[in-house]
Amino acid sequence: MTDIMNITEKQIVVSLEPEYETEYLKLLNNYFTASERNIRASSIHEKKQLMAIKEQMALMCNQNPQKMNMLRSIIRDVSDRREKAVVISKSNAVTALLLDELSADEDIKGVLIITTQLSIHEVNEMIDRFNKIPESTVLLITDSANTGLDVTAANHLVHYDYPARYSDILQRNNRISRQTSYHKEATIYYLLTSGKIDEFEYRECRNP
């Protein structure tokens, strides 16, 4: 256990894959059009449409090969150091996507996931596996499954997307920065797609 931890925060910005750019711009145009209609009418239908378009843009960023490759690079480096990482997202769909992608990488071993579908007993078993088994390298969790988790065996945390509130960012970071951690140093990564919705959500969250 350590009383003082040196925490390094890194913003890592990648570009959207060129083949995605045209479709993203179409979605962005649709979003602005729907926003104008919502200002005039402010209907439930328009609000739902805005939310659906934002989710499509976010999905495109989360599936972006450049962002995924950067995550793989981070996890491989963590594995080479024989350390552990937590990767956190705001949705089960994204953590499921990351599970498939990371598990398919032959250089990444010991990928675990905690979702809201697990019982308390199953969650505790997964936490024990992650904290105590050296080969367990990365744990994928969501914001909804994040509260109260003791994953202080990790000294790396990756934000793959961003919640609406800064307090949720702090709660995420607290997973690895608790005083119960025995690490002296930790690294927190913020993965962003340049000029796209995940970078906007990050800026909005950090500067409410």
* Beta bridge pairs of residue 8: 187
Output the domain CATH number for residue 128: 3.40.50.300
**Same domain membership, residue 169 and residue 109:** yes
pTM: 0.90
Is the Cβ–Cβ distance between 145 and 123 less than 8 Å?
yes
The CB density around residue 182, as the number of other CB atoms within 10 Å, is 10
Q: Across the beta sheet with 185-193, what order do the strands follow?
A: 6-14, 185-193, 156-159, 85-89, 138-142, 111-113
What's the pLDDT band for 40 if we cut at 50, 70, 90? low
- In sequence order, the 6+-apart residues with CB closer than 8 A to the CB of 115 are 92, 95, 96, 142, 145
Per DSSP, the residues of 141-188 read EEGGGTTT---TT--EEEESS--S-HHHHHHHHHHHHSTT---SEEEE
98-132 pLDDT, tens digit per residue, is: 999 999 999 999 999 998 888 889 988 999 999 99
The total of other beta-carbon atoms located within 10 Å of residue 145's CB is 20
Q: Is the pLDDT of residue 75 over 60?
A: yes
One domain, residues 96 and 113: yes
Number of domains making up the chain: 2
| Same domain, residue pair 48 and 144 | no
Mean pLDDT of 18-25: 95
- Domain containing 201 equals 6-13+64-206
- Model confidence pLDDT, tens digit, residues 150-190: 787 899 999 999 998 898 898 888 877 764 566 788 999 99
